[in-house]
Structure formats: structure tokens, C-alpha cells
Amino acid sequence: MNCLARFAVLLAFLFAGRSLAQQASGTTADNSPSSYATPAAMTPRQAAETRASILMARKEYSEAAVTYLEILRGDPKSAELLNKIGIAYQQLGELNRAEHYYRKAISVNKKFSSAINNLGTLDYERKRYGRAIKSYQKALSLGNDMASIYSNLGYAYFANKEYPGAMSSFSKALALDPTIFERKGGVGSILQQRAAPNPGLFFFLLAKSFAKSGDAERTAHYLKLSRDDGYKDFATAEKDPEFASVVQDPRVQEVLHVVPSYVDDARKPTSN
């Protein structure tokens, strides 16, 4: 693929729904996939994958799956395509179908860490946390987007109530990418967990991870989320040695000394 084609694919994905031809000519078109114009530099395969990426970015997962399946007919041994089909089905909540395509991707390429990670996210959704941990560990041994996989591993340890493992994994994820828990991008080739049981405790552990790295701003942010989510032990950060490097920061102090509403409610006298 030449530089122009790579640039075209990137723009098409980032602007999700606005074709490159429209940007060049100022023309308009409807939102159906068939209406997307494509640059002459793109091959039919590249154009089809671009349309599928646009559909994924717009959360039109059924249409994206159909498009990827059409491309797959011409390249049935593509682990990347099989993985993307699995992602589309997982976003639709069709977990069995998603698993089928992830496993097919892995059978084509046994070292395809993205599909192995994504298989772990299915086990996480099914609350099979031990199996998810094994998948994430295997994916980490193969490399590729390590911050996301360490983050996922931390979620799985946390859900399995293995808190030291969660802390260690979160710390490794943050060391690689301090913004890992703030990402708001679209769906790529590797899925990242976004939900955890007991969110108050989860945010507290994140705050502790940021405190250990000396990031007072993010420590205060996640400590506040923990407090506001009802985690009643959040104030233990005041004397926790792992918060020592940031605990005197005014932002952290403000969070620690604002009395949450649930404490106010508990102090209110009950009527007879």
C-alpha cells in the first residue's frame, strides 16, 4: 500500500462516515455503506475494509460483520479478518459466534495475541475470571498492545478478588500508558475491559496505583470516583503508605476532606 492509500484509510476511519472523496470535492451522500466514495488509489479490498471500519466506528455492528464476511470469502485464512468478525459479534452480544471466530483466528495463527486477548474478554463477560486470566497471560507472553492487555489482566484479577495481582497489573499498564483508563476511542483489533464489580473499590485501587507513580492529579480523580461511588474506606488513603508521595497535594486533600453525601445521610437522626 503506498503512502496515499495508507493516509486515505486512516482518514476514512477517523472521520467515521465521511468519505475521502466527499472531503476532496465537497459533495454529499447518504449514510448507506454503498454510498461511500473511495479514492482511486484504494484497491477493492482496501475500500471494503474501510467501509467496515466506518461501520464499526458508527456502532453498526451487524452491517460491519456482513461486510467483513464478504471480504473473508476472498481471504478465508485471514486471522485479522476472523478476529474483526469476532469483535463485531461480541459487540452485538452474540458471544458464541464471537468465540467461534476468535478460535478460528487463533487456529490460523496460534500466536495472534489480539484474538487470544479477545477470547479472554469473552470469559470475563461470562464471569469465568480464572480462564480470562490465563488468556491474558498467554496474550502478554506474545506481545502486542501490552498496556491494554495488562489492564484487562488487572480487571480479571480484581473480579477474581486477587487484589495484589490486580494492583501489579494496573501498575504495569499505567507505566506503559498513563492514559490507559481514559481511552475513549473506537473498536480496534483488541478489546479492552471497561467495567468491574465493586467500582468503588476498583477506583480506589486505581487511585493507589497512580499514587505509587506520583501522579497526584489522577490519584485525586480516581479517589473522588471511589468516594462518590460509595466506597466508605476511601479515607484510609490519608494514612496509607502507598499514598504518601501525593497525600499532601491540595487536590488529594480536598477529596479526602469533603464529607460525602452518604456519610451525611448516616449522621442524620432517624425519626421515631
In a domain, 237, yes or no: yes
One-letter amino acid at 60 equals E
Task: Quick: pLDDT tens for 117-155.
Answer: 999 999 999 999 999 999 999 999 997 668 999 999 999
The answer to the question of residue 120 being in a domain is: no
**Predicted TM-score (pTM) above 0.85:** no
- How many structural domains comprise the chain? 1
- Pairwise CA distance, residues 150 & 165, whole Å: 10
Instruction: With H, G, I as helix, E, B as strand and everything else as coil, classify residue 239.
Output: coil
pLDDT (tens digit per residue) in 145-196: 689 999 999 999 999 999 999 999 999 998 899 888 887 655 678 898 888 8
Whether 90 is in a domain gets the answer no
Task: Say if 125 falls within a structural domain.
Answer: no
Give residue 213's domain range: 198-262
Stronger pLDDT, 5 or 269, i.e. the higher one: 5
Q: Are 190 and 180 in contact (CB under 8 A)?
A: no
CA dist., res. 106 & res. 231, Å (int): 40
Grid cell 493516509 — which residue?
A: 7
The answer on pLDDT for 3 being more than 90 is no
Has residue 215 been placed in a domain?
yes
In this predicted structure, what is the pLDDT of residue 195? 85
User: Does 232 have pLDDT greater than 70?
Assistant: yes
